[in-house]
Structure 1
Amino acid sequence: MSASDILTLALGAALGGFVNGLAGFGTALFALGFYLTIMPPKQAVAVVVVCSVVVGAQGLWVVRHAIFARPARLMRFLVPGLFGIPLGLWILSMIEPRGLKIFIAAMLIIYGGYFSLRRSLPTFDRPTPFADAVVGALGGVLGGAAALSGALPTIWCSMRPWPKAETRAVLQPFNFAVLLITAVMLALDGVYTRHTLTFVAVALPSAILAGQVGFAVFRVIPDLAFRRLLIVLCLVSGTILLLRELI
């Protein structure tokens, strides 16, 4: 592994880890662009998944009180999401995922761009258990079909006037569970060879340290600013995803 490869790995891991630490999602969208320049796609995804799971595990601890305060809300998203993963994998075997990724990217850009320019944020303050379950199921489907499990839950949760810890108490465990299952599936597929584990060993320290910086920022950012941050990240991540698929 060359010095430039090590630098690329460290930069990608740091950016992905910081965003995950700050918002509870987004490692793959922000780190894959770096990793794909030095390794094949499947190997790059394998490295990103491990970094996401490790930083995500730390994130679970950060919002543990909010998770235990409203476990039923999380389950409305998570249980349907886990059932949606096999359906997403079946869809992946039937269609080309590029078109699906471009569609999701366009949706993220439209939503993030529109509400980034508005002074008032969208608000759904009434309980919506059925809609929560649908969003969770679709998130699981997109996770299995295109590794985009966080896209729809992030859009939906950013429209809810929840405190930042409650929002993250949904997003963080949801993405952690989906990515953990993905990691297990990749391991069973034999992706974690010695070469891949070497990449993981180089990337993890940067991801962990940057994740801690992201957690520190999360702790001090106001609730409203956190909602706006999620909306801006929808715009940025959608743009990155679209450019990566088109270029």
Structure 2
Amino acid sequence: MTPETILFLIAGACAGGFINGLSGTGTALFALGFYLVVLDPVTAVAIVALMSVVAGIQGLWVVRHAILDHPNRLLRFALPGLVGVPIGVWLLSGLDTSVLRLGVAAFLILYGSYFAFRKALPAFSRPTPVLDSLIGGIGGLLGGAAGMSGALPSMWMSLRPWTKFETRAVLQPFNMVMLVTTVVLLYLRGGYDSALPALAITIPGGLLAAQVGIFVFKRLSDTGFRRILILLCLAMGIGVLLSEIL
């Protein structure tokens, strides 16, 4: 492994781990750009997925009380999401995933651009169990079909006037469930056969960077965290758009 490869792996681990600790989502957006320079796509995605799961355990511990306070809220998103993932994978053969990713990216950019710099954020407070389940199911479907499971739930949860702990108590476990599914599927297709040297570098770096992100998360206000999610939606949309164009 060359020094250049090690440098890119450390940079990706630090960027992805920090954003995982800060928000509980967006790891791939910030890490894959570094990993794809020095790794093949399957190995890069496999490493990001596993690093997200390992680093995310720390974030789950931070919001464990909020998870236990609202378990039904999490299940409304996660269970339909699990159903959506294999449907998305099944649809892969008949979908133009580039068009799908570009459409979602455009929606993310419009949403993020509109809400990111508004003085007052929307506050959609009434209970919406059916809509929550629909969002979770579509999130899982987008994850299976286009690798974008967190996009729609992030947008939806940034509209809810929940505390930062309540929001993260749904968003991070939802992403973890989708990512564990991804890790298992990648393992079965041999995605980790040659990944051990890179994992030995990325996992420790990602764990340390996640701790820095968690430190910042704890000092954010509830409104500040919602703004972070909205800005992440904007960044996610721009990142996906650039990846498809380039």
Distance in 1, Cα, partners of 2:176 & 2:44: 18
TM score, norm. by length of structure 1? 0.98
Give the aligned partner of residue 246 of structure 1: 245
Give the aligned partner of residue 233 of structure 1: 232
Letter of the 1:149 partner, please give it: S
Give the aligned partner of residue 164 of structure 2: 164
TM score, norm. by length of structure 2? 0.98
Give the aligned partner of residue 115 of structure 1: 115
Give the aligned partner of residue 208 of structure 2: 209
| Structure 1 counterpart SS, 2:37 | coil
> Map of 1:52-131 to 2, 5 A cutoff?
52-131=52-131
Letter of the 1:201 partner, please give it: A
Letter of the 2:116 partner, please give it: S
Describe the superposition over 1:65-115 as per-residue Cα deviations: whole angstroms up to 9, x where unpaired: 000000000000011000111100011122231111111111111101110
For structure 2, list consecutive stretches of 5 or more residues without a partner in the other structure.
none
Question: Aligned residues, how many?
Answer: 246
Is the 1:49–1:179 Cα contact (8 Å) retained in structure 2? yes
Q: CA RMSD in A?
A: 0.8
Describe the superposition over 1:48-69 as per-residue Cα deviations: whole angstroms up to 9, x where unpaired: 0011000111111110000000
Give the aligned partner of residue 3 of structure 2: 3
Letter of the 2:211 partner, please give it: Q
Letter of the 1:83 partner, please give it: V
Give the aligned partner of residue 155 of structure 1: 155
Distance in 2, Cα, partners of 1:27 & 1:64: 20
Distance in 1, Cα, partners of 2:183 & 2:206: 17
Distance in 2, Cα, partners of 1:117 & 1:60: 29
For structure 1, list consecutive stretches of 5 or more residues without a partner in the other structure.
none
Distance in 1, Cα, partners of 2:34 & 2:105: 19
Describe the superposition over 1:2-58 as per-residue Cα deviations: whole angstroms up to 9, x where unpaired: 101100011011101100100000011111111111111111100100110001111
Letter of the 2:143 partner, please give it: G
Distance in 2, Cα, partners of 1:117 & 1:70: 30
